[in-house]
């Protein structure tokens, strides 16, 4: 009786091992995708070298076919060594262009500044303005500002005054000149002291006055 029990235990120990090996097989657990790719040495990728050209979107063109490789590229011809693209001489963009589009082979100006900028201010085309009392300016169609500066005549006095909003100085008291340190009016003789009578040069107001000595009043003979 003891012998039969021992044989039965051995049989039970052997059977689970057999069941386990039969239940777990390689076919029940497929390999991962990475393992499948790594084990497949026969994978072939497309190679268009010498056969065609590919644009930015992945479209394939035949040899000799004309195509645009990208949205803003010049046209190309597919050759054995790759795309051979046009390189035209594009027109220069206007220096005042404020909006440039790159929708073709050459950049294109879509908007040109229609005003002039001068000393931080904007002016319309053909607008005339005076940035200072002595300047007269105009905004040209080229967006350039052209100015003319007034040429003031030499004042006929030694004490000219600059009035607000006026370019050139004015002689508020008329023509005059210096007699020493004294300003005398032009056109008349002026007795500047007891012994000297002076008058201004005609037309040369910047020159000192001409003076002549006269007999001094109150001078007693010795």
The overall pTM is greater than 0.75: no
Average pLDDT on 113-117 reads 85
Residue 121 has a pLDDT of 92
**Boundaries of every domain in the chain:** 51-113, 115-149, 154-216
Q: How far is the CA of 4 from the CAs of 1, 9, 10, in angstroms?
A: 5, 9, 10
CA distance 182 to 192: 8
Average pLDDT on 146-174 reads 89
- Give me the torsion for CA of 18, 20, 21, 27, rounded to 10°: 140
Average pLDDT on 52-70 reads 86
Domain 115-149: which CATH class? mainly beta
Q: Is the pLDDT of residue 204 over 90?
A: no
Collapsed DSSP state (helix, strand, coil) of residue 14: helix
Residue 37 has a pLDDT of 40
Question: Do residues 106 and 88 touch, judged by C-beta distance below 8 A?
Answer: yes
Lowest mean pLDDT among 73-87, 117-131, 205-219: 205-219
Q: Residues with Cβ < 8 Å from 170, sequence gap 6 or more?
A: 155, 160, 161, 163
- The average confidence (pLDDT) of the chain is 76
Average pLDDT on 141-158 reads 89
Burial class (CB in 10 A: 0-12, 13-18, 19+), 70: exposed
Q: Is the pLDDT of residue 163 over 50?
A: yes
Average pLDDT on 94-122 reads 84
């Amino acid at each position: 009786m003891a012998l039969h029990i021992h044989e039965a235990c051995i049989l039970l120990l052997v059977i689970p091992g057999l069941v386990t090996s039969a239940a777990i097989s390689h076919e029940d657990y497929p390999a991962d995708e990475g393992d499948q790719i790594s084990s497949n040495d026969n994978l072939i990728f497309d190679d268009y070298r010498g056969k065609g050209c590919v644009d930015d979107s992945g479209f394939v063109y035949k040899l000799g076919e004309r195509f645009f490789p990208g949205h803003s590229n010049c046209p190309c011809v597919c050759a054995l060594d790759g795309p051979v693209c046009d390189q035209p001489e594009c027109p220069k963009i206007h220096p005042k262009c404020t909006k440039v589009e790159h929708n073709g082979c050459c950049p294109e100006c879509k908007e040109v500044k229609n005003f002039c900028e001068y000393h931080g201010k904007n002016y319309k085309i053909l607008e005339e303005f005076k940035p200072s009392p002595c300047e007269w300016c105009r905004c040209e169609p080229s967006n350039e500002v052209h100015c003319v500066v007034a040429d003031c005549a030499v004042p006929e006095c030694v004490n000219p005054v600059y009035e607000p909003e006026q370019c050139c100085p004015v002689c508020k008291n008329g023509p005059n000149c210096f007699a020493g340190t004294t300003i005398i009016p032009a056109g008349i003789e002026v007795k500047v002291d007891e012994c000297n009578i002076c008058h201004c040069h005609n037309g040369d107001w910047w020159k000192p006055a001409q003076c002549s000595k006269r007999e001094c009043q109150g001078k007693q003979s010795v």
